[in-house]
Amino acid sequence: MATIAAAPPYTQTKPVPAQTGLWSWLTTVDHKRIGALYLISGLFFFIFGGLEAAIIRAQLATPNGRLVTADMYNQLFTMHGTTMIFLAVMPMSAAFFNFLIPLQIGARDVAFPRLNAFSYWIYLLGGIFITAPIFLWMAPDGGWFGYAPLSTKAYSPQHNMDFWVLGLQILGISSLAAGFNFITTIINMRAPGMSLMRMPIFTWMSFVVQFLVVLAFPVITVALVFLQFDRFFGTNFYTIAKGADPLLWQHLFWVFGHPEVYILILPAFGLVSEVLPTFSKKPLFGYPVMVYSGILIGFLGFGVWAHHMFSVGMGPIADAVFSLATMLIAIPTGVKIFNWMATMWGGTIRFTVAMKFAIALVAMFTIGGISGVMHSSAPADLQQTDTYFVVAHFHYVLYGGSIFGLFAGIYYYFPKVTGRFLSEKLGNWHFWISLVGMNLTFFPMHFSGLLGMPRRYYQYDAGQGFEIFNLMSTAGTAILIVGTLFGLINVIKSWKGGAPASSNPWGAATLEWTIPSPPPDYNFAEIPTVKSRYPLWNMADGEPLVHETTHAEEAGRRIPTSQELGIVMPNPSIWPLITAAGLLVMFCGLLFMDSSVPTAVGVMLLGTVWWVGALYKWLLTPLEDHH
Partner 1 sequence: MTASTAPTAAHGDGHAHGGGHYTTLGLDHRKIAIWTFIGSECMLFASLISTYLIYKGRSPEGPFPHTAWTNPATGEVFKPILNIPVTSASTFVLLMSSLAMVLALAAVQNRHTPKHTLGDRILGSSKLWLWATALLGLGFLMFQAYEFTSFIHEGLTIRTNLFGSSFFTLTGFHGAHVTAGVIWLLTLLAIDYKRGLGPQDALLVDIAALYWHFVDVVWIVIFTLVYLIQ
Closest CB to partner 1 among residues 24, 571: 571
> Which range binds partner 1 by CB under 8 A, 12-20, 220-228, 365-373, 387-395?
220-228
Q: Please, what is the minimum distance in Å from the beta carbon of residue 119 to partner 1? A: 13
Q: Does 217 bind partner 1 (CB under 8 A)?
A: yes
The closest alpha carbon to 201, from 273, 101, 100, 97, belongs to 273
Closest CB to partner 1 among residues 194, 284: 194
Other CB atoms within 10 A of residue 452 CB: 13
Q: What is the DSSP letter of 525?
A: S
Q: Does 563 bind partner 1 (CB under 8 A)?
A: no
Closest CB to partner 1 among residues 221, 339: 221
Q: Please, what is the minimum distance in Å from the beta carbon of residue 294 to partner 1? A: 19
Q: Which residue among 237, 466, 575, 618 contacts partner 1 (CB under 8 A)? A: 237
Binding map of partner 1 across residues 492-531, x = CB under 8 A, - = no contact: ------------------------------x--xxxxx--
> Which range binds partner 1 by CB under 8 A, 188-196, 367-375, 494-502, 543-551?
188-196
Is the CB of residue 410 less than 8 Å from the CB of residue 42? Answer: no
Q: Which residue among 66, 242, 557, 558 contacts partner 1 (CB under 8 A)? A: 242
The closest alpha carbon to 143, from 127, 157, 154, 156, belongs to 156
Q: Which residue among 45, 73, 112, 618 contacts partner 1 (CB under 8 A)? A: 112
Q: Does 218 bind partner 1 (CB under 8 A)?
A: yes
Closest CB to partner 1 among residues 44, 180: 180
Closest CB to partner 1 among residues 383, 571: 571
> d(Cα 429, Cα 452) in Å, to the nearest integer?
35
> d(Cα 375, Cα 114) in Å, to the nearest integer?
44
Other CB atoms within 10 A of residue 247 CB: 14
Other CB atoms within 10 A of residue 578 CB: 20
The closest alpha carbon to 351, from 270, 429, 428, belongs to 428
Is the CB of residue 561 less than 8 Å from the CB of residue 525? Answer: no
Q: Does 192 bind partner 1 (CB under 8 A)?
A: yes
Closest CB to partner 1 among residues 226, 411: 226
DSSP string covering 434-472: HHHHHHHHHHHHHHHHHTTPBTT-S---TTSS-HHHHHH
Q: Does 311 bind partner 1 (CB under 8 A)?
A: no
Q: Residues 167-185, buried b or exposed e (16+ Cβ, 10 A)?
A: bbbbbbbbbbbbbbbbbeb
Positions marked active-site: 80, 109, 144, 174-175, 258, 260, 262, 273, 307-308, 333, 336, 455
Helix residue ranges, H only, 61-112: 70-82, 90-105
Residues present in the chain in total: 627
> d(Cα 477, Cα 460) in Å, to the nearest integer?
19
Q: Which residue among 180, 394, 447, 592 contacts partner 1 (CB under 8 A)? A: 180
> d(Cα 424, Cα 513) in Å, to the nearest integer?
20
> Which range binds partner 1 by CB under 8 A, 87-95, 266-274, 565-573, 578-586?
565-573
Q: Does 221 bind partner 1 (CB under 8 A)?
A: yes
Is the CB of residue 98 less than 8 Å from the CB of residue 175? Answer: no
> Which range binds partner 1 by CB under 8 A, 44-52, 131-139, 445-453, 568-576?
568-576
Q: Does 1 bind partner 1 (CB under 8 A)?
A: yes
Q: Which residue among 24, 236, 532, 608 contacts partner 1 (CB under 8 A)? A: 236
> d(Cα 267, Cα 90) in Å, to the nearest integer?
9
Question: Which 574-593 residues touch partner 1, going by CB under 8 A?
Answer: none
> Which range binds partner 1 by CB under 8 A, 340-348, 487-495, 507-515, 558-566?
558-566
Rounded alpha-carbon distances, angstroms, from residue 476 to 46, 440, 463, 466: 17, 5, 22, 15
Q: Does 225 bind partner 1 (CB under 8 A)?
A: yes
Q: Which residue among 32, 33, 80, 190 contacts partner 1 (CB under 8 A)? A: 190
Could you give phi then psi for residue 415, rounded to 5 degrees?
-60, -35
Closest CB to partner 1 among residues 66, 242: 242
Q: Which residue among 215, 337, 450, 591 contacts partner 1 (CB under 8 A)? A: 215
Closest CB to partner 1 among residues 480, 569: 569
Structural element, H or E, at residue 49: helix 31-60
* Size of the residue set binding partner 1 (CB under 8 A): 63
> d(Cα 67, Cα 58) in Å, to the nearest integer?
7
Q: Which residue among 24, 158, 184, 532 contacts partner 1 (CB under 8 A)? A: 184
Other CB atoms within 10 A of residue 288 CB: 8
Q: Please, what is the minimum distance in Å from the beta carbon of residue 219 to partner 1? A: 5
Is the CB of residue 466 less than 8 Å from the CB of residue 451? Answer: yes
The amino acid occupying position 29 is V
Is the CB of residue 217 less than 8 Å from the CB of residue 256? Answer: yes
Is the CB of residue 135 less than 8 Å from the CB of residue 194? Answer: no
Q: Does 233 bind partner 1 (CB under 8 A)?
A: yes
Question: Which 259-288 residues touch partner 1, going by CB under 8 A?
Answer: none
Closest CB to partner 1 among residues 64, 529: 529
Q: Which residue among 79, 209, 252, 600 contacts partner 1 (CB under 8 A)? A: 252
Closest CB to partner 1 among residues 88, 590: 590
- Residues forming the site for partner 1 (CB under 8 A): 1, 3, 106-109, 111-113, 176, 179-181, 183-184, 187-192, 194, 214-219, 221-223, 225-226, 229, 233-237, 242-245, 248, 252, 255, 522, 525-529, 562, 565-570, 616, 623-624, 627
